[in-house]
Structure 1
């Protein structure tokens, strides 16, 4: 991921075709280690391709990947449309209460800081 970020930073800086040295310089400036094999793989994959097209293709591929976190919403929507099948599950989630630990006070020690 850091190689991709370095590549994008170089591209944003105006370098249309960043080299291995450019990426090493960027990653070295923040103290990150560089894996030469992965860097060469990345550079060979993006060589001669337009960065905006690569991002657009990646965005299309990521659209079909489940990202999690929306499970409750996804289950609630079909239940609500079908007549409230998921409403009890949502109500149970609201019923859960957080148990807060009681903070210790100076009263337990028998003295106060300001006595």
Structure 2
């Protein structure tokens, strides 16, 4: 991830095709140990590709990843019930919290 971040930082700074040495320089400036094989692999993967297109492809892939929200996956009815239960619990908790100080404040 750090290699990709360095690559994107260089592209954002105006270097449309950063070299392996450019990436190593950025990482060295941040005092990060560089693994040569990972830098070379990144350069080989992105060679000849447009960064904006790669980001768009990545966003498409991420949109298909499940978020792990069980209430939403179970259906609208159970999600609505969960929301109602949360809303009902919130005022009770607020009332309990206000009673905890028994009318005495730290700076009263």
Shorter-chain TM-score above 0.5 = yes
1:78 maps to: 76
**Distance of aligned partners of 1:91 and 1:37 in 2 relative to their CA distance in 1, 3 Å threshold:** same
Flag the structure with higher helix content: 2
Consecutive unaligned residues in structure 1, runs of 5 or more: 80-84, 101-115
Spell out the pairing of 1:32-47 with structure 2 (5 A cutoff).
Answer: 32-47=32-47
Could you tell me whether the CA contact under 8 Å between 1:11 and 1:17 is conserved in 2? yes
8 Å CA contact 1:3–1:23 kept in 2: the answer is yes
Q: Which runs of 4+ in 1 moved over 3 A?
A: 85-97
Q: Which residue of 2 aligns with 1:56?
A: 56
How many aligned positions are there?
A: 95
How far residue 92 of structure 1 moved from its aligned partner, in angstroms, is: 5.4
Q: What's the CA shift for 1:67?
A: 3.0
**Structure 2: where are the runs of 5+ without partners?**
98-108
- Greater relative CO (CA pairs within 8 A, separation 6+): 2
> Which one has the largest radius of gyration?
1
1:76–1:87 CA contact under 8 A, matched in 2:
no
